[in-house]
Amino acid sequence: MDEKSPILAGILSLFIPGLGQIYNGQVGKGFLCIVLAVILFILIFLLIGLFLYPIWIILCAYDAYKTAQIINEGDEPPFIPF
């Protein structure tokens, strides 16, 4: 398996939640992050998304970062660790 950059994976997910997961080879998980980010972004207009959307972005970025580290160690990453 190719070596993944944890920093790049985290930064990609900061800009577009789920993109870092796709970079790590977890396409299904990446699309799940993207879909939930879109839903939470829409919920900003109901104010609940105002709090949850930034938290979701940080969680996706952290997950992408940690998953890249796990991949580089040669272990199999869990599907959804959070």
Residue that has been written with the tokens 């970025």 in this structure: 61
Coil, helix or strand at residue 74: coil
Please report whether residue 28 resides in a domain. yes
Please report whether residue 78 resides in a domain. no
CA separation (Å) from 5 to 22, 25, 48?
A: 13, 12, 33
Q: What confidence score (pLDDT) does residue 49 get?
A: 86
Coil, helix or strand at residue 75: coil
Please report whether residue 81 resides in a domain. no
Please report whether residue 1 resides in a domain. no
Please report whether residue 18 resides in a domain. yes
Q: Which domain holds residue 51?
A: 6-70
Residue that has been written with the tokens 């839903």 in this structure: 39
If you average pLDDT over residues 48-70, what whole number do you get? 94
- Please state the domain count of the chain: 1
How far, in Å, CA of 12 to CA of 57, rounded? Answer: 11
Q: What confidence score (pLDDT) does residue 48 get?
A: 87
Claim: this prediction has a pTM higher than 0.85: yes
Residues 4-51 have pLDDT tens digits of 999 999 999 999 999 999 999 999 999 999 999 999 999 998 888 899
Helix (H) or strand (E) holding 70: helix 48-72
